[in-house]
Structure 1
Amino acid sequence: MAALSVPTHMKAWVYHEFGNTADVLKLDTNYPVPEINENQVLVKVVAASLNPIDYKRIHGSLKALNYLPPSIPGYDVAGVVVKVGSEVKKFKVGDEVYGDINHKALDKPKNVGTLAEYTATEDKVLALKPKNLSFLEAASLPLAMETAYEGLERAGLSAGKSIIVLGGAGGVGAHVIQLAKNVFGASKIAATASTSKQDLLRSLGADQPIDYTKENFEDLPEKFDVVYDAVGQADKAIKAMKEGGHLVSIAAPVAGFPDAFFLLTSDAVILEKLNPYLESGKVKPIIDPKSPFPFSDTLEAFAYLETSRATGKIVVYPIP
């Protein structure tokens, strides 16, 4: 199938300088569509989800790593392949795909992200969209689900081991609970969240929901084989860990635990490995009730993300 007709310019949310998202992120209706190289595909974006790393880059928190504007935010994508590079064998034009477009979260992330009508990325980070999921649902998954999975693998979670998840109702934490239960076979799952999210924790598979507004998880007499810190409470997290246990953190490096902190390596292999669990419904997308935000309301979506009160993922859809 030949490449679909692709315009030379597109609509995209772009920032040309660092600053507060509401001040610097602007809708550009005439931004150049990215070119692809031989191992890349061009994707017509249908839906994209937001992640904290998006606004951290906009704010300039990572500028020391030489991430210079102009940039289009967005890591997660679900869409349709409209052009393939000469070396790409994995996909063809018309394939419905999803993924996190940046192989290494902080290593030369792409300046043309997913909050645009088109984005270009390597075929190795994309997988075919599960047939039972909508583009909206698929876009919510890649970065959060892959991060959850990589952390559990790093921590050595396996059948019969216990785990506590700090921030169990967030984008990553909601997947940690589901994967720990349905993929890794954890014997007991505890998780923290606010009062209104206790039922969600149970529905995800938590055996012991903990309301952090009423109870200090670090004071529990029971300790855990694995502590997964998705919120940045490393000092407390260590107190919840069994002797010889494992700590993983996606929030910040942990003093005394040099291997605890990690940044995702995006790889379609994880998405493909989890595809049976997605198609069987054992692992489900968790999308915040306020989603989706239409493309025109992307600034409102970011404002909500930056409150840190979202349940699951915030998705922008449809993208024109």
Structure 2
Amino acid sequence: MKAIQFTGYGEVSKKVKTSEIVKPTISKDEVLIETYAASVNPLDIKVVEGKLKSVSNFKLPTTLGYDVSGIIIEKGENVPNFNIGDEVFSKVNRQGTFTEFVAVNQKLVSLKPKNTTFEEAASLPLVGLTAIQALKRGKLKSGESILIPAGSGGVGSFAIQYAKSIGAYVYTTTSSENVSWVKKLGADEVIDYKTVDYTAIVQDADMVLDTLGNEYTEEAFSVIKNGGKVITLVGPVDKETANRMKLNKITKLFLAFKRRKITKQIKQKSAFYSLVFMRANAKQLNEISELVESGTVKTKIDKVFPLKDTLNALLYVKKGRTKGKVVIKIK
């Protein structure tokens, strides 16, 4: 069967290829999904470029992709809750969804929303789980305010809708051409970062969902109130997360050095800071499905590419100008 793999670390254009691999066999706790669609995430690009080598060790060549939607065609003997023919979606723990068939543990799978296409369903798992877990980590409550930068991206567009479903007041940033669309997602204040300094508008926010990293992680502390929260997806590893990862002493010292500016700002603002590593979670996938079926959260597909053009899809996402999700149509 065909699969899109990366053969080594480096430039996406040079390290991604189409391969022929063996169709997977399932264990007694797995289902075999015939892949109808998968979606591209910035995470796929970071993996190829070697930016996650310190936390993930891949046996190369490795099939790319984390999101999948499709139909169950086989199930293991210990799988009671799914049937052959079920339409499902999932976020897998390891890569391997840019291919024709995917074996997935039943604990990571959910029935796809009934009111979505396979392409729409494939756009949901990673970004939806990331947004939900980040906002739950920050314990966002009704009546609180949150800044969600990059509101037109996959995580940002889902997080805006999820935060509004909680009852939060949402600030977001986007480029001029996307302001109107992002407003339709429900954000209370949409800031055109090309013409306006968002730090002059957002003040005393209860939380920032940092999706950008680098200087934006540091700027997040300037817009939260004393005692506010910065939940990051891309910033330096916090002490608690480093301990939870059971890293060695030398690595912890290195990470402490890298976050020294953040540590200073945490103390100045008496802030809570945490890096979220998203985990696959079928229960939360069920929550996503309910949100979509009720109309609380709407999907947005930017572009759909066939499997043979996956490299172009990756390069398109790498530009950082997507409006919603980019999806690979496999069947």
Please say whether Structure 1 and Structure 2 have the same fold, judged by a TM-score greater than 0.5.
yes
CA distance in 2, matches of 1:173, 1:47: 21
1:62-112 C-alpha deviation (Å, 9 max, x unpaired)? 23332231101000000011111121112121110001011xxxxxx24xx
1:40 deviation in Å? 1.1
Correspondent of 1:58 among 26, 48, 73: 48
SS at match of 1:239: helix
Read off the aligned partner of 1:311 and give its amino acid letter: K
1:31 and 1:276 mapped to 2: Cα distance? 35
In the TM superposition, 1:289-300 aligns within 5 A as 291-300=303-312
Equivalent residue number for residue 87 of structure 2: 96
Aligned position for 2:126: 143
> Is the 1:57–1:67 contact (alpha carbons within 8 Å) kept by the matching residues of 2?
no
Rounded to whole Å, the distance in 1 between the matches of 2:189 and 2:196 is 12
Q: Is the 2:68–2:97 Cα contact (8 Å) retained in structure 1? A: yes
Contact 1:14 1:27 in 2 (8 A): yes
Q: Structure 1 residues 241, 24: closer, same or farther in 2, change over 3 A?
A: same
Residue-by-residue CA offset, 1:161-206 (whole Å, 9 max, x unaligned): 1111111111100011000112x111x2110111111112210001
Corresponding residue number in structure 2 for 1:106 = none
Given that 2:147 and 2:202 are in contact with CA atoms closer than 8 Å, whether structure 1 keeps it comes out as no
Change (3 A) 1:116 1:221: closer
Matched ranges for 1:296-315 at <5 A: 296-315=308-327
The root-mean-square deviation of aligned C-alpha atoms, in Å, is 1.4
The residue matched to 1:179 in structure 2 has which SS?
Answer: helix
Amino acid across the alignment from 2:319: T
Work out whether residues 142 and 271 of structure 1, in 8 Å CA contact, stay in contact via their aligned partners in 2: yes
Task: Give the deviation of 1:15 after TM superposition.
Answer: 2.2
Asked if residue 33 in structure 1 is aligned to residue 23 in structure 2, the reply is yes
Q: Paired residue for 2:141, among 136, 158, 178?
A: 158
- 1:228 aligns with 209
- Letter in structure 1 aligned against 2:205: F
- How far residue 18 of structure 1 moved from its aligned partner, in angstroms, is 2.2
- Contact 2:90–2:109 under 8 Å retained in 1: yes
Q: Which residue of 193, 211, 232 corresponds with 1:212?
A: 193
**Structure 1 equivalent of residue 9 of structure 2:** 18
Structure 1 runs of 4+ off > 4 angstroms? none
- Unpaired segments of 5 or more residues in structure 1? 1-9, 103-108
Shift of 1:259: 4.3
- Worse overlay, 33-42 or 16-25: 16-25
Aligned counterpart, 2:151: 168
2:207 and 2:326 map into 1 onto residues whose CA distance is 27
The 3 A distance-change label for structure 1 pair 78 and 217 is: same
Give the AA of the match of 1:122. N
Query: After superposition, where does 1:79-90 map in structure 2 within 5 Å?
Result: 79-90=70-81
Q: Shift of the alpha carbon at 1:221? A: 6.1
Aligned residues: 297
Query: 1:63-82 alignment to 2 at 5 Å?
Result: 63-64=53-54, 65-82=56-73
**Cα distance in 2 between the residues matched to 1:219 and 1:25:** 42
AA aligned to 1:73 is L
Counterpart contact for 1:18–1:69, Cα < 8 Å = no
CA distance in 2, matches of 1:221, 1:120: 45
- SS of corresponding position for 1:176: helix
Q: CA deviation at 1:128?
A: 0.1
Which secondary structure state, in structure 2, belongs to the residue aligned with residue 32 of structure 1? coil
Alignment counterpart, residue 281 of structure 1, candidates 265, 290, 295: 295
Further displaced range: 211-220 or 137-146: 211-220
Q: Which of 229, 233, 245 matches 1:246?
A: 229
Q: Secondary structure of the equivalent of 1:293?
A: strand
Percent identical residues? 37
Q: 1:181 to 1:221 in 2, by over 3 A?
A: closer
Greater share of residues in helix: 2
Change (3 A) 1:237 1:259: closer
TM-score, normalized by length of structure 2? 0.86
Contact kept? 1:39, 1:87, Cα under 8 Å: yes
Tell me the SS of whatever aligns to 1:247: strand
Partners of 2:203 and 2:294 in 1: CA distance: 33
CA distance in 1, matches of 2:287, 2:74: 25
